[in-house]
Amino acid sequence: MKDTLRPGIACTHVFAVPPSKTVPALYPEAEEFRVMPEVFATGFLVGLLEWACIKAVNPHLDAPREQTVGTRIDISHEAATPAGFTVTARVELVAVEGKKLVFEVEAHDGKECIARGRHERFVIDRERFDARLAAKRAT
């Protein structure tokens, strides 16, 4: 980690919601999802917020050796967003606790706030991470 990895780092990331990121597309093999409204799926919203956090901190890591993985998400998904709308994710790093990074996150669809909360990520060494996965697969 570079010494520039400090609270206050922020990122705004804009994403146009396609039909492929709506609830019916989340698990297309599941009838329960296929019959639901075509609105931005919470699962994809979480991914968008993670993406913004990654973009915020990547310049402050020794990439690609160092990367971050999500370890906790606590958000409210407060409003539905139809396909075709543009979502703006805003994230701010509020704490660095060793390798744990804590973010305040929110998303807006141009009409209203659709999500807010906190997200935690952990800085990993990709080589060691991959070695642990290989060991797990081998057992």
Query: Residue 18: CB partners within 8 Å, gap ≥ 6?
Result: 83
Residue tagged active-site, from 22, 66, 68, 77: 77
Active site residue 104: no
Residue tagged active-site, from 50, 66, 106, 120: 50
Compute the distance between CA of residue 33 and CA of residue 41 in angstroms, rounded to an integer. Answer: 10
Active site residue 139: no
Residue tagged active-site, from 38, 42, 88, 104: 42
- 3-state DSSP call for residue 83? coil
In order, the DSSP letters of 26-42 are HSTT-HHHHTS-SBB-H
Q: Which helix (H) or strand (E) holds 72?
A: strand 66-77
Active site residue 77: yes
Considering only CA atoms, which of 18, 24, 20, 19 is closest in space to residue 37? 24
Take residue 59 and report the two structure tokens written for it.
Answer: 């310049």
Q: Which residues are catalytic?
A: 42, 50, 77
